[in-house]
Amino acid sequence: MLGCNVAQQSHTAAKARAAVDAAQRLRDVLRMCVVRAPAPLAVEPGHRSVFLAGAIAGPWRTLIAEALRDTRVTLWDPRREDWDSTWDESADDPRFRAQAEWELEAQERADLIAMYLSPESEAPISLLEFGLSAKSGKVIVCCPDGFWCKPAVDVVCRRYDLTVVSDLAAMIATIARGAGSTGGTSSTVHTTSR
């Protein structure tokens, strides 16, 4: 009889471990993931991909990642920890070219493009990215008052009916709403705050 109880307890413990493992796998699937350049552009199953376009400086990317940590989002972040300012910013430098091509590929493949145009930066590359992606209809734009080119950005957003938000909190909320509703499809979020 004692052997039966030990076997039953062992079976119950194995079932409990399996349930804990399954719950952990589910939590892992539901958690946000960050893919940084130059890593391959992967998307977790059931996640939406979001390319973080905009100013390299400032904590905005970290704030978005922290706020979305419990959502089904894979963030594609072009900011590199290993960026070397000695690289020649030229199409002839293979390191620079690889970075630029990674960013172009990420924008094309992303479900959403979160564009933050910071008033603290003129952001010429961000404006280039904005121009390239505006017609896609999958851009969420945060362009606070004070950005030097805001009037032109506003005109483009209106022309292409892009989602415009007033601050990072609204951008995070818009991304989170989209992440909760998709299951990994390529549909876009359409909200307006104009």
Q: pLDDT digits over 108-159, tens only? A: 999 999 999 999 999 999 999 999 999 999 999 999 999 999 999 999 999 9
Listed residue (2, 87, 93, 102) closest to 42, CA to CA: 102
Asked if residue 185 has pLDDT above 70, the reply is no
Asked if residue 172 has pLDDT above 90, the reply is yes
Asked if residue 191 has pLDDT above 60, the reply is no
Listed residue (99, 110, 103) closest to 175, CA to CA: 110
- β-bridge mates for residue 184, sequence order: none
108 alpha carbon, distance to own chain's centre: 13
> For residue 17, what pLDDT is reported?
72
Tell me the C-alpha distance between 130 and 57, whole Å.
17
Tell me the C-alpha distance between 193 and 172, whole Å.
14
Q: Is 59 helix (H, G, I), strand (E, B) or coil?
A: coil
Asked if residue 187 has pLDDT above 70, the reply is no
pLDDT digits (tens, 9 = 90+) for 11-50: 566 666 765 555 555 455 558 999 999 999 999 899 999 9
User: Other CB atoms closer than 10 Å to residue 155's CB: what's the count?
Assistant: 10
> For residue 3, what pLDDT is reported?
57
pLDDT digits (tens, 9 = 90+) for 65-118: 999 999 999 999 999 989 888 889 999 999 999 999 999 999 999 999 999 999
> For residue 133, what pLDDT is reported?
97
Question: Between vectors from CA 95 to CA 94 and to CA 99, what angle results, nearest 5°?
Answer: 110
Q: Is 165 helix (H, G, I), strand (E, B) or coil?
A: strand
